[in-house]
Every structure is written in C-alpha cells, then in structure tokens.
Amino acid sequence: MSEEQKNEQGSSSILDKLKIKKTSGKPKERKQVSREERETLPKDDQPIQLKLDGEFKMVATCMQNMEPELEQELIHLGAKEIEVKRRAVEFVGDLELLYKANIWLRTALKVLKPIYHYSAKNDDELYKRAMKLPWESIFNSEKTFSIDSAVSSTHFTHSQFASLRIKDAIVDRFRAQQLNRPNVERFDPDVRIHLHINDTSVTLSLDSSGKPLFKRGYRTVQHSAPINECLAAGLILKSGWKGEVDLLDPMTGTATIAIEAALIACNIPPNLNRTNFAFEGWNNYDVALLSKVLGEAKEKYKPLKVNIYAKELNSNNFRSARMNINSANMRKSILLEQADFFKTPPPAATGCIIMNPPYGERLELQEGMPDFFEKIGSTLKHEYSGWDAWIIASDEESFKNIGLKPAKKIPVMNGKLECQFRKYELFDGKRVEEVIRRKKKVND
C-alpha cells in the first residue's frame, strides 16, 4: 500500500493506541455446558454464557428494514448460524468476529453478547438472578459501568427501576466477593450492560460497542438534518452501488452519503477511526487480537476506481461537508463543490445518484416542497439521462411531484420518519431499448 493510500485510509487512532426464520452462514457447532455452569443455573433458565473463548452467540442490532443488508454483511464476515430478527440479526462466532463486527459492520448499531437469559416476574427475582452472575469475571472494580434497558412488560412498568435493580445486583455481587464496588457512570462508562425484558423473559447482554456504531468518529460538524451514517451506508448497499460507476450525492449536507460511499468503494471499515469500543473495558480485552483485526483490515484497502461527486448549495453546510470529508481522510476521493444541483451540469455522462433532499418536516425551504420536488424530477429527466437516481423522501406527495415512474420502492426509516427509497432509471426517451440493453448487460 502506498503512503498516499495509507493516508487516505486514515491513520487510525485505535491503531496508534495499539502500538502498545431463516438461517444462513456456516453450520452449527454445539456448545458444551460445563458442570460449573449447570450448577449456577436456576430451574427453567438458560445457562449463563460468560465464556468469550471459543464460539458464542452475538446479536447485531440495526434500523428497521436494514436487516437484509446486515445479514449480508455478517455472511461476508464469516458469521455462523445467522438468524434474522426484527431490527437485529443473531449470529455465532468468536472474539475475533466480535472485534471484526464492531469495526466492519456498516449497518449495525450495536453488537451485543447475551450472557444470561432467565425469567423473572418481579424486581426481587430480577435482582436475585442477576446477582448469580460472576460479574467480577467480566470487569474489575476500577471500571465504571451503566445499564441500558429496553423493557416491554406488565410486570416491570418502570425500565429505570429495573435497570437500578440490575445495578444493585452487580454492585452487591462485587461486595459479596469482598471486592471494591465499581461505580456507575451514565454518560461515558467503560462497560455497558444491556437489559432486555419482554414480559417475564429477561436477557442480560454485554454491549461490546458502547457508543452506537454510527458514531464513526469522522463527523466533526453537525447539520440540522443529517442522515444517520448507518442509514446512509444501508441505502448505498440497497442501491447495489459498489464503486463501479461514478456516484453523485447532489444535496450532500454534511457529506455523509459521499463519505460512506467512499468507505464502501475503498473497502475501508467504517469504524477504523473510532477511538473506543466498550469491549476494551472487559477483563478479556485482547489488544493483540484487535491489533491483528485492524492490521488485516488496513490490508483490504482498494483504491477508488471512479469519481464520487458531492454538491451543496448552502455555504455553512458546504463548510461542514468539507470538514467532515477532511476528517474522514477522503479529501482526495470526494470531489465536493459548492453548487446548485438545479443549475449546474451533470459531472459525468452516466452514474448513480443517491439523493437525500430536504424534508419539509426538518428543513425550511424557500420555495414550496411541491415546486422543489418537481424541479428534482425535471432536472433528472432532462439533464441526467443515462443515470440511475435513488431518492429518499418521507411523503408520497413529494414523490408524486417528482413526476417520474420509479423502478423500485423500498420502505426505510429515517429516525422516526417513515420514508421510501425509490429508484428512477433515467433514459433519453427510448425506454424499451434501454431496458433491453440493460437486461442484456446483466445476462452477459
């Protein structure tokens, strides 16, 4: 790898620090339950799964409708026994895969390691069972911790209170072992525990990621309506763009789509530059293994073969885009210009557009939304024949105003907004011939 490529790929702060229904994936290997584990097992509960050597179950969480992309990413990473759930994908692998998943997964929000699944009908049972776990074998008293919870139960109506009982169980367990108690830190803990309760079914997991994985580390400047990094990456993956044709992010805002596209095309893990993962707070943190995973990831870098263009009209947003692109070390890969998408010519004869236009709900537009989307439609129709355009928008009316027939419609969520991601194939009049030509190209 040349020095320039290495620079473009980014000098990883982690690497610097380290200088010190459907099942897919590979087939199942049964886990042996030890005598010790059986003995700690209360009736009707599943064994405590504390072991982090060998293979174990993990759960990667994601946004709604990003499960297919996450599943594909996990298959690609070599995960076994993959099971797609709602807003999550379960899989089996070893500690190396856990590190890889945190660094490589573009659409995952968190990677959890379930450690104990049991049933509880009240706070007392919740507490007592959680106290059985040898928490001191997971982290030491020097570390701070926090509990995140997702509770849906008539037995536990206050998720905060349920979290508090788990916190008490952990602290009391340390005390019972004659150890100092670890402190709770709400905002930036070393170790994060995830509590999930569905009715009486309780799952305690270690959160290996810590801050959600969309916090890649390159966003230095915020925007009033930024697209989430995991959503941006997921949209690009849904579009099928892998860096074979030019890409245009025509209303780039803070350049999230352009940056995620560059990371995909160069095969750079999105979280290579993250400074911290929660698994670093665990007793079994293997610095050498993480170093190996990061080193191998750097070797997978591919030089960019096409151009990635980004346009932004607003001068403040343009400056933010510039800063984020620089911070992602993508200065040479993304051709950013301050320009009006409607008034500047296409940057190439053909390519793929991924557009996140302003939303009425979140951004003020000088003109009305109908006119704005009509202009998008007519600009695409008259200026961009030969291109494919993908647009994410939240309301049917906006899509109607575009006035073009979509080739695909995919439902996605942008935060709490229900959106659609629609594809438009732009031809210069001779649509049938173009469809035949494209089909022939696919068959060849």
Ligand X SMILES: C[S@@+](CC[C@H](N)C(=O)[O-])C[C@H]1O[C@@H](n2cnc3c(N)ncnc32)[C@H](O)[C@@H]1O
Binding site for ligand X (CB under 6 A): 223, 225-227, 251-254, 256-257, 311-314, 317, 340-342, 356-358, 363
CA distances from 415 to 140, 163, 362 (A): 36, 25, 11
Environment class of 44 (CB within 10 Å of its CB; exposed 0-12, middle 13-18, buried 19+): exposed
Q: Are 69 and 107 in contact (CB under 8 A)?
A: yes
Residue 289 or residue 417: which is nearer to ligand X going by CB? Answer: 417
Residue 257 or residue 402: which is nearer to ligand X going by CB? Answer: 257
Buried-exposed string 175-204: b where 16+ CB fall within 10 A, e elsewhere: eeeeeeebeeeeeebbbbbbbbbeebebbb
Closest residue to ligand X in the complex (CB): 253
CA distances from 43 to 40, 125, 170 (A): 10, 13, 21
Environment class of 261 (CB within 10 Å of its CB; exposed 0-12, middle 13-18, buried 19+): buried
Residue 207 or residue 312: which is nearer to ligand X going by CB? Answer: 312
Residue 137 or residue 314: which is nearer to ligand X going by CB? Answer: 314
In the complex, minimum distance from the CB of residue 14 to ligand X, in angstroms, rounded to a whole number: 24
DSSP string for 194-262: EEEEETTEEEEEEESSSS-TT--S---S--SSPPPHHHHHHHHHHHT--SSS-EEETT-TTTHHHHHHH
In the complex, minimum distance from the CB of residue 225 to ligand X, in angstroms, rounded to a whole number: 4
Residue 79 or residue 227: which is nearer to ligand X going by CB? Answer: 227
Strand stretches in 279-361, DSSP E: 308-312, 334-338, 351-355
In the complex, minimum distance from the CB of residue 281 to ligand X, in angstroms, rounded to a whole number: 31
In the complex, minimum distance from the CB of residue 375 to ligand X, in angstroms, rounded to a whole number: 8
In the complex, minimum distance from the CB of residue 321 to ligand X, in angstroms, rounded to a whole number: 8
Place of tokens 């610095």: 287
Residue 204 or residue 257: which is nearer to ligand X going by CB? Answer: 257
Q: Are 406 and 389 in contact (CB under 8 A)?
A: no
In the complex, minimum distance from the CB of residue 396 to ligand X, in angstroms, rounded to a whole number: 18
In the complex, minimum distance from the CB of residue 23 to ligand X, in angstroms, rounded to a whole number: 35
Residue 284 or residue 344: which is nearer to ligand X going by CB? Answer: 344
Residue 47 or residue 360: which is nearer to ligand X going by CB? Answer: 360
CA distances from 49 to 116, 223, 434 (A): 6, 42, 56
In the complex, minimum distance from the CB of residue 317 to ligand X, in angstroms, rounded to a whole number: 4
